[in-house]
């Protein structure tokens, strides 16, 4: 299997996506939150790049059937129902609801990935089931790290490494460049210390500083939610 890692949304050129399986990764926290929301009973998640776009979509839906969710600089958007902490997405809150989600980086990466043959939403929480689907689909794989405002991010890269580790342990022959090798080596070195590693990242330190370290601990739980999540260009569903 040919595997590539894209480090930021800015690297997501069309030819890197077309015909492939894309897995979008925003470990802290957009893709972890999406997987949590769907696992806990949300009907679907609609990722929206902009806040206005999210509000406008809400106006089209019947009151009480949706939640307006998202963050800017890690903090819940004013007037929204929920922020972007997966811990807010409890079953009693999200069950049966359409979650309209707008985040700083993750939702943009998801939308950008839509040119791929299939788009999967990936995180540490659903690592193994997502890789099983990538194997079943039999296409080349592109792991799309969201990064942070155009910059490389450690937590997305180590999550890509966790995915590569799964493939290697399954005996899949991987062709990839040194990014693939480095992500794998990083994961193998820190597999037992993911919370410490991610807390040192730029994004992780920001979350620690706004009192959200519990989110890092939550998002680091490998295979906690065995849920396969697809994006069809508009909605994330399972
Ligand atoms: C993002 O999409 O940029 C993030 O998930 C940011 C966050 O949750 O703080």
Structure tokens at 87: 């811990």
C-alpha of residue 82 to centroid of ligand 1, in Å: 13
pTM of the model: 0.97
- From atom 9 of ligand 1, which residue's Cα is the shortest distance away? 74
Q: Is the CB of 106 under 6 A from ligand 1?
A: yes
Strand partners, 21: 118, 141
Q: Which fold has domain 3-237?
A: putative 2-phosphosulfolactate phosphatase (3.90.1560)
Dihedral, CA of residue 169, residue 170, residue 172 and residue 175, to nearest 10: -30
Q: Is the CB of 31 under 6 A from ligand 1?
A: no
C-alpha of residue 104 to centroid of ligand 1, in Å: 5
C-alpha of residue 124 to centroid of ligand 1, in Å: 15
Q: Residue 26 CA: which ligand 1 atom is closest?
A: 5
pLDDT tens by residue, the chain, 238 residues: 999 999 999 999 999 999 999 999 999 999 999 999 999 999 999 999 999 999 999 999 999 999 999 999 899 999 999 999 999 999 999 999 999 999 999 999 999 999 999 999 999 999 999 999 999 999 999 999 999 989 999 999 999 999 999 999 999 999 999 999 999 999 999 999 999 999 999 999 999 999 999 999 999 999 999 999 999 999 999 9
CA distance 86 to 101: 12
- From atom 8 of ligand 1, which residue's Cα is the shortest distance away? 29
Q: Give tens-digit pLDDT for 118-142.
A: 999 999 999 999 999 999 999 999 9
Domain regions of the chain by residue span: 3-237
CA distance 55 to 212: 25
> Over the range 162-201, which residues count as b (16 or more CB within 10 Å of their CB) and which as e?
bbbbbbeeeeeeeebeebbeebbebbeebeeebbebbbeb
Q: Is the CB of 102 under 6 A from ligand 1?
A: no
Q: To test the ligand 1 pocket, which listed residue (105, 112, 213) has its Cβ within 8 A of the most ligand atoms?
A: 105
């Amino acid at each position: 299997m040919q595997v590539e890692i894209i480090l930021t949304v800015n690297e997501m050129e069309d030819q890197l996506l077309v015909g492939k399986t894309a897995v979008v990764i925003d470990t802290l926290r957009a893709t972890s939150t999406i997987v949590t929301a769907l696992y806990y009973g949300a009907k679907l998640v609609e990722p929206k790049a902009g806040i206005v776009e999210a509000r406008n979509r809400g106006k089209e839906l019947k009151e009480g059937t949706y939640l307006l969710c998202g963050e800017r600089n890690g903090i819940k958007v004013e007037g929204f129902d929920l922020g972007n902490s997966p811990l807010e997405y409890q079953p009693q809150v999200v069950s049966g609801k359409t979650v309209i989600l707008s985040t700083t980086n993750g939702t943009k990466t998801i939308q950008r990935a839509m040119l791929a043959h299939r788009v999967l939403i990936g995180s540490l929480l659903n690592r193994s089931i997502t890789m099983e689907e990538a194997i079943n689909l039999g296409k080349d794989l592109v792991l799309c790290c969201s990064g942070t405002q155009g910059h490389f991010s450690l937590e997305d890269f180590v999550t890509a490494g966790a995915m590569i580790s799964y493939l290697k342990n399954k005996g899949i022959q991987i062709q990839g460049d040194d990014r693939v090798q480095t992500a794998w080596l990083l994961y193998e070195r820190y597999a037992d210390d993911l919370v410490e590693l991610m807390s040192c990242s730029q994004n992780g330190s920001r979350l620690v500083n706004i009192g959200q370290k519990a989110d890092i601990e939550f998002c680091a739980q490998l295979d906690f939610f065995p849920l396969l999540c697809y994006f069809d260009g508009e909605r994330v569903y399972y």
